Chain A
């Protein structure tokens, strides 16, 4: 089944404790992206990647890191989480060859930073 898989789905952590949210897709998509969803703000892009070893900042990259060492994986790293990073996070992928921007989403990871 074609899918985007995120882990963990739920996480409660404390300020400053490094964490990684993993994202993996099995559709051989070139493009992957991370979004955060906050009430009243919709989805805002954190980082995106056009292909392996190619990443770039989105609209709200502060406090986050990403890497793209393999085509299927695009982990989101919070080196020193803070309470304002409490949010619902979505990973998405897209086949760039089609070049339409249609996104395939994971089920989301709800992060709480205390």
Chain B
């Protein structure tokens, strides 16, 4: 069965430190993978997406993610976190045809001064 796992419910990092949020997926075909961010009281905003090709994808706000097929992972990274990055982050898997998207449970990021 298709699934998305985000192992970390919450993560705390210091401002200026690097960040990595983990995402693992289970899907038998070529995955379309996404990272969305949800700021408090807001809807979800797309950070970046992977469809095919280059396994390192760049997104908005200085985020990047690396697709590793052998590990079924799509981890999100940022070299230097800003206080405004505090939010909840969702990894998502779109199944073929785009009619169904499976979301992970989310990782809440706290940023300390």
Contacts and interface: CB of A to CB of B under 8 A. Distances in A.
Interface residues of A, number: 28
Contacts of A44: 103
Contacts, number: 66
B66 to A, nearest CB: 19
B54 to A, nearest CB: 16
Given A101-B32, A103-B44, A105-B43, A45 B101 contact: yes
A4 to B, nearest CB: 8
A94 B6 CA distance: 24
Interface of A: 4, 31, 33, 35, 40-45, 48, 50, 56, 58, 90, 92, 94, 96, 98-103, 105-108
CB-CB nearest 10 A-B residue pairs: A101-B94, A105-B43, A101-B98, A42-B103, A43-B103, A42-B105, A105-B44, A107-B43, A101-B32, A99-B98
